[in-house]
Amino acid sequence: MVSADQSSFSAPPNPSLLTGRNWIERRLVSYITNHTPTCRDVVRLLSQSMEVKLPITTRIKLRFHFLICIWCQRYERQLWALRKIASSVSERVADIYPETLSDRSKEQLKQSLRGTEP
């Protein structure tokens, strides 16, 4: 995407952003590009939004950005999916770590516990 200090309606340097769009769409895309955060900033802000509520102006800018960027939209959905995956981890711990304490470790542990008075 382009930086904010570039003039309005200048073509975004990422050529694929404008592929297949008509003249009006190209102008609209360029305008939104110039007035919303870059994708690199958007992904950082999306992660931050999972920790703290972002200012309303930032949230509006993100919504506008999503109008032109399917990749950031997907990224947001996938971050929340990742959170859901992580929250399921505790239930699936035996699938993630099938390891158990070895018999030897268990025996040593029992011996040590025998020597510990309550």
Partner 1 sequence: MPQESSNHVNPENWVDAYGDRLYRYALLRVRHHEVAEDLVQETLFAAVRACAKFRGSSSEQSWLYGILKNKIFDYFRKLAQEVCFTDLEFLEDEMSHKFIDQGWNHELGPAQWKPGPEAALNRKEFWKTFRSCLNKLPARVADVFVLREIEQLDTAQICETLGISQNNLWVMLHRARMALRECLELNWFEGKLKLGPKTNG
Binding site for partner 1 (CB under 8 A): 1-3, 12-14, 16-17, 19-21, 33, 38-41, 43-44, 47-48, 50-52, 68-75, 78-79, 81-90, 92-97, 99-101, 105-106, 109-110, 112-114, 116-118
52/56 with CB nearer partner 1: 52
The distance of closest approach from Cβ of residue 66 to partner 1 in the complex, given in angstroms and rounded to an integer, is 11
Over the range 62-89, which residues count as b (16 or more CB within 10 Å of their CB) and which as e?
Answer: beebbebbeebbeebeeeeeeeeeeeee
Report phi then psi at 5, rounded to 5. -85, -5
The distance of closest approach from Cβ of residue 86 to partner 1 in the complex, given in angstroms and rounded to an integer, is 4
Q: With beta carbons less than 8 A apart as the criterion, state whether 41 and 35 touch.
A: no
